[in-house]
Structure 1
Amino acid sequence: MTAALPRLHLFLRRPASGLFSIEMLYRSLIPYFERDFEVEWIENRRPSRGFLPRLADAFRAALRQGDINHVTGDVHYLTYFLSRRRTVLTIHDFVSMERLRGLKRALLWFLWYWLPVRRADAIVVISHSTEAQLHRQLRIQPERVHVIPNPVRADFCPTERAFDVQYPRILQVGTSANKNLERHAEALAGIACKFVILGHLSDAQRACLSAQRIDYETHADMVPEDVASLYRGSDMLLFASTYEGFGMPILEAQASGIPVVTSNRWSMPEIAGAHALLVDPENIDDIRTAVLSIIGDSQQRQRLRAGGLENAARFAPAEIAARYASVYRNLCRAEA
């Protein structure tokens, strides 16, 4: 008689318009997980807002436990009532800890990081940069921490589209404060290009783009397939963020065969490898010089394209799923 497969329960946030990155990442891993585990996908019933709705979803999670419980990120509070010995928590970043101050920061530290980390046996972080932040914020045994990067989905793939030297389409992914849109706009001022922005713009950002006389177009709330097409229709990615826990757009651009300008801070050099132009995100001249270098140097573009494709291959779903599966199996052995 064949032994039953261990039950792997993936706990995720409630889907919201325009927010699908975490969900799509883990969906790309499920076909590989299903070879060794019986997988159940469990989404929150409520948005992650307010104390009582979060508490209700945490109680619900406790009633839906498997042999392995994986809280996949952005809903850390689901760990509160899960069996510690069977729980894996993925931490994607510490961006709010960088932004908040005072009592709000202290509450976030306790409820979003300290308590969930105590309620999970294994902690996964998605970059060595995030691992370093974790150890700065919390006392945790190193053997409990596993660095497993995010996978790049297979629908991000290259085309033979020629680079438009005369009027390149320069892609910006995200419009939150750390995405550095205003400095990007200032760096692009006077460069003949189309600035392609994925995300909702504030009135202040629109005013900034107008003041710099930037020719731009915006896209928001796109389905994942259309996002992949947007990359393939762009000539380069400008992603000089001031903070990232990982930097998924770097890999998505590299897998799509387009050159990348990104930041020399936090996780971004680690994710890009030697296959992007790194800039100081606070230095507008630095950003502008890198963009002009890509536009003006065909050999550099080809080098970045070839190296980027090779780098993105390291983050294939099969490889990432195998690393998660090793963590899951260790939990099963410890529980037994």
Structure 2
Amino acid sequence: MDPPISVTLVHRAPRPATYSIEQLFEVIREAMPADIQTTVIRAPSPRATPGAMFQNARACVKADPKIAHIVGDVHYLALACPPQRTIVTVHDLGMLTAPQSIFARGAKRFLWFTAPLRHARLVTVISEATRNALLDTVNIDPGKVRIIPNCVAPQFRPRVAPPRNSKFRLLHIGSTPNKNLRRVALACRGLNVTLRIVGRLRPSQEQILEEAGVCFSCVSDLSLREMVAEYHQADAVVFPSLLEGFGMPIIEAQACGVPVITSDLEPMRTVTGGYALLVNPYSVEHIRWGIVRLMSQPRLREHLSKAGVKHAAAFRATEVAEQYAELYREVARCDRC
């Protein structure tokens, strides 16, 4: 019997309230088949200064991975790993779309994308939309880019029954600009809803919510168990995001049996499997239409709930872990050649 294939997962440094990637790959690790043996190293520094990047690269070299898988947004660490035994996962290209100087954007494009992705043997992305955006941005061999979706943690299970809230409870995940909270707040004006927001609100966002007269509450830094409870207590999830690499809240909500309103954009459109209410995220009126439709049609809510649970089963951790395992086997076979 061949010995287990040894894989080192390289994470970014721990940062407060930024752990979704780490949680995701911990779930994948636990679901790995027996022939794959994984360990984890974390970059020592969360900073992106030359000194900190050198410190992180040195830690990566010291670990001497047999197969290195860069799983967080520290793609540049691939340059410190053997090219024929390195895989990089790209979740999105958000760092290139943030407001910044032309020089800063060019430096990030080269150090986080062009150089490490050309260096690595394989690149994985989490959706077709991310693959297209990546190939539009970086000149690399399309044949080395593979799509492996995110998985849903096993804790996200269907609730026993819909909640009995006095007001229709909408769950909104995230408070960064791409999550589109301002339009959601305006869409909720005058509706008999409670908007439950997961994320830290800026004063300007609180002001918009208050001026719209929306009944809202906010929570952040939740554990996995607490996040599952938020889904189970919601009548619907409203997620009209403007930009996502994947859109994990869609699958999490579906796995919990919660109907979803999301954007008629990629990758959200594909991720739903057709089992969500799609709206134009740039139109307050259309977002409001989606909310009112779900509020007024219990049969539609029930249909989306049941169909969503079935669709989310395709994103089980065991399915996704096997896809990564096959990549590791491919790299190991080529390394022996």
Relative to the length of structure 2, the TM-score reads 0.96
Cα-to-partner distance string for 1:213-272 (whole Å, 9 max, x where unaligned): 111111111122211111111111110011111000000111111000001113101111
Match of 2:80 in 1: 81
Partner Cα separation in structure 2 for residue 178 and residue 54 of structure 1: 28
Q: CA RMSD in A?
A: 1.4
Partner Cα separation in structure 1 for residue 278 and residue 310 of structure 2: 18
Report deviation, 1:335: 0.7
Letter in 2 for 1:201: L
Equivalence map 1:218-229=2 (5 Å): 218-229=218-229
Report deviation, 1:23: 0.8
Equivalence map 1:193-212=2 (5 Å): 193-212=193-212
Partner Cα separation in structure 1 for residue 33 and residue 298 of structure 2: 44
- Is contact 1:6–1:36 with CA below 8 Å preserved after alignment? yes
Letter in 2 for 1:294: L
- Is contact 2:28–2:318 with CA below 8 Å preserved after alignment? yes
Match of 1:172 in 2: 172
Match of 1:335 in 2: 335
- Is contact 1:238–1:262 with CA below 8 Å preserved after alignment? yes
Letter in 1 for 2:44: R
- Is contact 2:163–2:233 with CA below 8 Å preserved after alignment? no
Q: Does structure 1 residue 154 correspond to structure 2 residue 154?
A: yes
Partner Cα separation in structure 2 for residue 327 and residue 265 of structure 1: 29
Letter in 1 for 2:21: I
Partner Cα separation in structure 2 for residue 100 and residue 137 of structure 1: 17
Distance 1:320 1:251, change over 3 A: same
Partner Cα separation in structure 2 for residue 179 and residue 234 of structure 1: 18
Report deviation, 1:303: 1.0
Cα-to-partner distance string for 1:274-294 (whole Å, 9 max, x where unaligned): 001111111001000001111
Match of 1:4 in 2: 3
Partner Cα separation in structure 1 for residue 220 and residue 34 of structure 2: 35
Report deviation, 1:31: 2.5
Report deviation, 1:164: 4.3
Match of 1:65 in 2: 64
Partner Cα separation in structure 1 for residue 210 and residue 80 of structure 2: 50
Letter in 1 for 2:237: L
- Is contact 1:165–1:295 with CA below 8 Å preserved after alignment? no
Letter in 2 for 1:234: A
- Give the length in aligned residue pairs: 335
Match of 2:35 in 1: 36
Structure 1: runs of 5+ lacking an equivalent: none
Match of 2:264 in 1: 264
Match of 1:94 in 2: 93
- Is contact 1:276–1:304 with CA below 8 Å preserved after alignment? yes
- Is contact 1:165–1:296 with CA below 8 Å preserved after alignment? no
Query: The residue matched to 2:80 in structure 1 has which SS?
Result: coil
Letter in 1 for 2:329: R
Cα-to-partner distance string for 1:23-58 (whole Å, 9 max, x where unaligned): 111111113325112211111222144332122111
Match of 1:305 in 2: 305
Partner Cα separation in structure 1 for residue 50 and residue 252 of structure 2: 35
Identity of aligned residues (%): 31
- Is contact 2:4–2:34 with CA below 8 Å preserved after alignment? no
Partner Cα separation in structure 1 for residue 8 and residue 308 of structure 2: 34
Query: The residue matched to 1:237 in structure 2 has which SS?
Result: strand
Equivalence map 1:231-250=2 (5 Å): 231-250=231-250
Cα-to-partner distance string for 1:128-159 (whole Å, 9 max, x where unaligned): 00011111012222221110000000111111
Letter in 2 for 1:30: R
Q: Does structure 1 residue 26 correspond to structure 2 residue 25?
A: yes
Report deviation, 1:65: 2.6
Letter in 1 for 2:34: R
Report deviation, 1:331: 0.5
- Bigger CA drift: 205-214 or 105-114? 105-114
Query: The residue matched to 2:243 in structure 1 has which SS?
Result: coil
Partner Cα separation in structure 1 for residue 82 and residue 270 of structure 2: 34
Distance 1:285 1:166, change over 3 A: farther
- Is contact 2:44–2:56 with CA below 8 Å preserved after alignment? yes
Report deviation, 1:126: 0.2
Partner Cα separation in structure 2 for residue 130 and residue 149 of structure 1: 11
Match of 1:185 in 2: 185
Query: The residue matched to 2:31 in structure 1 has which SS?
Result: helix
- Bigger CA drift: 2-11 or 104-113? 2-11
Partner Cα separation in structure 2 for residue 166 and residue 293 of structure 1: 18
Partner Cα separation in structure 2 for residue 326 and residue 3 of structure 1: 15
Cα-to-partner distance string for 1:283-333 (whole Å, 9 max, x where unaligned): 001000001111110111011001111111110000001111111111011
- Is contact 1:14–1:47 with CA below 8 Å preserved after alignment? yes
